[in-house]
Chains A and B, each alone.
Chain A
Amino acid sequence: MRKTPTPLAPLIAAGATALMMATGPALGAGLDDVVTGHILPGHAAFAERTAALADTAAAECTGPATQEAYHAAFDAWMGISHIQFGPIEDLNLSLSIAYWPDPKNRTGKALARLVADEDPIAQDRTAYSEVSIAAQGLFALERLLYDPAFSSGPYVCALTATVAGALADTAGELADAWPDYAELLTNPGPDNPVYPTEADAARKVYTALYTGLEFDRDTRLGRPLGTYDRPRPNRAEARLSERSQRNVELSLAALNQLADLLATDPAPRTSAAFAAARRRVSELDDPVFAGVADPMSRFRIEALQQEVRDIQTEMATEIGTALGVTAGFNAMDGD
């Protein structure tokens, strides 16, 4: 949904200074919408779906209903996986929800160790947050539900229910913490210790959006693409549960929504770039990006990667500049 530009918009278009934009009223409206239309409902959905997953896993372990609930929870995660600031950062919860990429197979090894030892922690949902973070969260559940190395038995059954339960607890903790943090994000001012100006708050959200696109491009697409001479299809995200393509689709949809809410001016080129990339990924018909290893289909995934880069470029011009955001002076330095 596109919002009506505020009266400040013509000033921005006319090239007002970053400082004027920083103090203008337009950004605050965007931030309220980001919180109420994206962040809070996204976290509530993730908490609900993981709670449902925990209930299902407790009832039927690793069966098809649990797999279905796992997909629903993962879908919900893709709606907010780019929100890597605020409570998730303060509470250090990111990796215990989604431990990926995992080039050293730490998830597989950590779970295999628990199973081999029949570690009693599998019975303790509350204490489970103490185990290796590689054995927690969505990617641990994926192994337990889809990796034939973990054939179902009473121990794996209990472990699955516990991992799902602990994930639901984490998601609940995150959803509970967001309303307070949202107060900070939407009420910038001199007494706000984190966001003294609206520009600071808007920059935080914009950076999350930009970094989310970068993760899709460099990591979700870039890691399986590898190089032309050495494609790495085994590095595709969530390939055991065949979610690699779906995750990029859902991530781009969520980022598109966030961009629409954040932008206070029409951003037609950004919208068009999102539409092009979303169309291409939805038409890929390559659930685990196996096509990276085949020169004929590889180019379509490379083209998608380029289209995600195009979104970043358009967004930097249409949204980033209006927010007074440029790439970090020190972050880009490399010394």
Chain B
Amino acid sequence: MPDRRSFLGGLLAATSLATTSWAAAGGPAYLAAARGSDGSHALIGLDGAGEIAFDIPLPARGHAAAAHPSVAEAVAIARRPGTYGIVLDCRTGAVKTRIEAPRGRHFYGHGAFSQDGTRLYTPENVIDTGEGRIGIWSREAGYARLGDVASGGIGPHEILRIPGSTRLVIANGGIRTHPDSGREKLNLDTMAPNLTVMSEAGEILDQAALEEDWHQNSLRHISAAPDGRVACAFQWQGDLYDPAPLVAVYHPGRGLDVLDVPEGRLMAMNGYAGSVAFFDGDRRIAVTSPRGSVLQVYDAVTGFVSQMPQEDVCGVAPGAAGAMCTDGLGRVGRIGVTGVEPLARHPLAFDNHLVALPV
């Protein structure tokens, strides 16, 4: 029988969780940016069945979002080369505050929280030099900027925290762009993408890259498992008819292992992986190619397992059974063995990423 103090403490904690937790936000399981049929932009909360839990307007096209580890709060981060970040209360849809990339910087659409939820990390481009930085923001201080550290490469794109740890992983895509020349790629001859593992204090702990022949293979998207493995999805900038592999797994201390894939299946990706997710107990990996309109499933050790067609598919995240995917036609589906089982369809175009929320 608990004593009175711990009972009250427990009651208080339960009350506070009940009012601020993700469960209080309508039980969303996922976040995704989307464009509405009227051209407006929003951050959408989806439940496990693919139905809409909430719908919060965004001022311009989103990309992905960083979900707070315990509080129903998300930061929607502007698509490259946007500069806004909007901190949303996912229970009410209220904008809690905004962040703005410092002068001369822009965001890449991704961000991640520290394990204790007190800090937000945002990949950024120093526009004049092309240097990749990771901005650090204090949630406790109303998302005041604390400073920034080197990302370990050019074009830092997705950042994640390895679940259950204080280690961050960063996909440095290697491609330099400048807002004055739009999305034009300025350094294809010399690009050198890498995966960087970093402490929450900003110290680089490890870096890994593919062999030199594949230096034009831009690492953009990643998925992290609690054991420290990182599934890596690439975008090939070389000849589409002489493609590099697009899926690899990082093992701590051992670098990147490219996953086997039959040539015809590699070609079907059209040189472009849009999103990646571990699922099935982190034994399998789903990757999407909106350019090939296919989704592929890999075994994390033995490689390619299956391919299924899905028009304009991009967002992918682990689900209760299998994995979930979203596409530009507003569909939410569950990835099965041979095909995508439709769950729901909304009058929306889901943007690149589907972010699984803390359970």
Contact = CB atoms under 8 A, between A and B. Distances in A.
Contacts of A200: 311
Interface in A129-178: 133
Contact of B342 (A95, A96, A196, A331): A196
Given A102-B241, A193-B339, A335-B80, A329 B265 contact: no
Interface string A186-205: 00000001101000100110
A126 B242 CA distance: 28
A234 interface: no
A329 B241 contact: no
A92 interface: yes
B109 interface: yes
Interface string B147-161: 000000000010000
Q: Is the interface of A mostly helix, strand, loop or mixed?
A: loop
A102 B183 CA distance: 29
Interface residues of A, number: 26
B106 to A, nearest CB: 12
A104 B268 CA distance: 18
Contacts of B312: 328-331
A154 to B, nearest CB: 30
A103 interface: yes
Residue of A85, A92, A329, A334 most packed against chain B (CB within 10 A): A329
B109 A335 contact: yes
Interface residues of B, number: 38
A333 interface: yes
A202 to B, nearest CB: 12
Nearest to A100: B241
Contacts of B20: none
A265 B91 CA distance: 48
Contact of B314 (A103, A203, A204, A330): A330
Nearest to B315: A330
Interface string A89-111: 10011111000011110000000
Q: Which 6 A/B pairs are nearest by Cβ-Cβ distance?
A: A329-B328, A330-B290, A330-B314, A328-B312, A329-B349, A101-B241
Interface of B: 35, 63, 79-80, 108-109, 157, 183, 220, 239, 241-242, 262-265, 267-268, 274, 290-291, 293-294, 307, 309, 311-314, 327-328, 339, 341-342, 349-352
7 contacts: A89-B268, A89-B294, A93-B264, A329-B35, A330-B312, A330-B352, A335-B109
Given A94-B264, A328-B290, 16 more contacts: A92-B262, A92-B265, A102-B241, A103-B241, A194-B309, A196-B342, A203-B311, A204-B311, A328-B291, A328-B311, A328-B328, A329-B35, A329-B290, A330-B290, A333-B314, A335-B80
